Chain A
């Protein structure tokens, strides 16, 4: 190991944060850029499925809460893009990678949001799963990412509570509302579990990322936490658990559950989900339509600068 590498590893061992100007292995930088930008893209693409219900939210209060949630997601996207930018990649490069399909985002957003209960289920399950992951990432070794996570976690737990509360209103509501809630749970439960990624044995980037403390807990451990915490929540709602095999295992101190449909997981990751094309096309269309606006700002600023220079001369 070079002295730089030794110093880097010493910091990692000592739980010191790595900061943007510190030396870091190229692969560490690459893994971080991949992970943080993927996280940022997930926030941004995640605005679409929920945004899809803003104009149909069933009460003014729910409409306000939903707008504010989607707005928070845009905000999270911004912090995360900024965190990634400290590693030497620009936001426009990241957006290009998202649009070309080179960069991924969480596959959960490739499932369609069909009913109002889906919006509630996303708040509860998807934000819930995200928090389990993000709480663990508050201890990630890269300073700007860790600080971003601390900030984001506060807002995400608010979203999760709102989602659960919306779900509770449905579950305790009319028979139609309750059926809507059950249907949403049945559809979103499995993809929410897939959010933790493949089994540790299948996860291409996991080992190195664990060693460098970019990731602090394995996919399977995080998934187990989520499975465990969700059982009680489903009970309180009075809904049926979508996993018929769910069973408390005294010895492990955890719930045993069915294995996931990994074919579906890989198929969605590889672009064949319900909404993959739609989500990316939406992003591209909005971005392209905004081009003349961005050009206008540049032109306007240029004119102002020229004017100032003229006045100064």
Chain B
């Protein structure tokens, strides 16, 4: 592996790890706050899958960095400006509709991203994708079912779900942005060219939203910046909470 590719792969694994840990954390905020007990369990499952992915991506990043850091250094010892997750993942949990719509957008994204990552020449990334594909199948079944039920449920649930779709739509555009790092890896057959996933994503999301009697936004409004560390104000608060115990005891084992 050339130094340039190694550095890009390290950055890439970190980005994917950041997406996973941030979304996993947000989902975990639901535990004991769900509308009924079965949902607390389901949220636990999905959250565990994402924390598990984060650990795999970070462990690989640490291996590439080879500077003595481990998965927890990546998760706990970087500031919000150093985090590279997509903004969609860091949005607060909101109400149940908001979380499920975010989940739908993410699940459809991974439904198309992971099979491409599976083809990666990088064996570790491919192996992580293989495991994650199975999880995402279950996640999508669940978020799709929820969006259908909420969209086509009561007047109130419809209103809340449409509001969530509209509020989150602006954060979906950057899911398909490429930069130099990702282009390099895509050209090398290591990373995924996410710009090519947009049409499939939009078609699938449109199909589900339409069936749920919801309207697909057409606004051009788009917020970008996750991959360069230009975050919303939400991430700082989230990381403050997530990192407090770890950082209060530097160098300790848990």
Contacts and interface: CB of A to CB of B under 8 A. Distances in A.
A binds B: yes
A286 B34 CA distance: 6
A55 B28 contact: yes
A10 to B, nearest CB: 37
A78 B21 contact: no
Nearest to A62: B254
Contacts of A297: 149, 153
Interface string B146-167: 0011101110110010000000
B126 to A, nearest CB: 22
A293 B30 CA distance: 14
Interface in B47-94: 47-48, 51-52, 54-55, 58, 71-72, 75-76
B51 A296 contact: no
A59 B41 contact: no
Given A286-B33, A292-B156, A296-B149, A56 B51 contact: no
Interface residues of B, number: 48
Contacts of B35: 286-287, 289-291, 293-294
B36 interface: yes
A44 interface: yes
B252 A173 contact: yes
A100 interface: no
Nearest to B45: A71
Interface stretch (B4-12, B101-109, B172-180, B242-250): B242-250
Contact of B157 (A74, A170, A287, A292): A292
Nearest to B238: A55
Given A74-B37, A169-B253, A292-B156, A56 B28 contact: no
A174 interface: yes
Nearest to A57: B245
Contacts of A58: 76, 245-246, 249, 252, 254
| Most chain B C-beta atoms within 10 Å of own C-beta, residue among A59, A61, A282, A290 | A59
Interface string A57-69: 1111111100110
A8 interface: no
A290 B253 contact: no
B187 interface: no
B40 A47 contact: yes
Interface string A230-267: 00000000000000000000000000000000000000
A142 interface: no
Contact of A177 (B28, B71, B76, B252): B252
A20 interface: no
A77 interface: yes
B38 interface: yes
Contacts of B28: 54-55, 63, 67
Given A51-B31, A60-B51, A75 B41 contact: yes
B32 interface: yes
A55 B242 contact: yes
A108 B39 CA distance: 25
A73 to B, nearest CB: 9
A78 B31 contact: no
B252 A292 contact: no
Contacts of A54: 28-29, 31
Contact of A295 (B31, B36, B38, B153): B153
A133 to B, nearest CB: 22
A55 B32 contact: no
B37 A78 contact: yes
B156 A295 contact: yes
Contacts of B32: 47-48, 51, 70, 282, 286
B234 to A, nearest CB: 13
A290 B37 CA distance: 11
A68 B24 CA distance: 13
A166 interface: yes
B55 A64 contact: yes
B25 interface: yes
Given A54-B29, A55-B28, A294-B35, 17 more contacts: A54-B31, A55-B25, A55-B241, A60-B21, A60-B71, A63-B51, A67-B48, A67-B51, A74-B31, A74-B37, A74-B44, A116-B254, A289-B95, A296-B149, A296-B154, A299-B153, A299-B157
22 contacts: A54-B28, A54-B29, A55-B242, A56-B244, A58-B246, A60-B21, A60-B72, A67-B47, A71-B48, A74-B31, A74-B44, A78-B38, A173-B253, A176-B249, A286-B35, A287-B35, A294-B35, A295-B153, A295-B154, A295-B156, A300-B148, A300-B152
What are the 8 A-B residue pairs with the smallest beta carbon separation, nearest first? A290-B35, A296-B153, A71-B44, A296-B157, A293-B35, A300-B149, A58-B245, A51-B32
Interface of A: 44, 47-48, 51, 54-64, 67-68, 70-71, 74-75, 77-78, 81, 116, 166, 169-170, 173-174, 176-177, 282, 286-287, 289-297, 299-300, 303
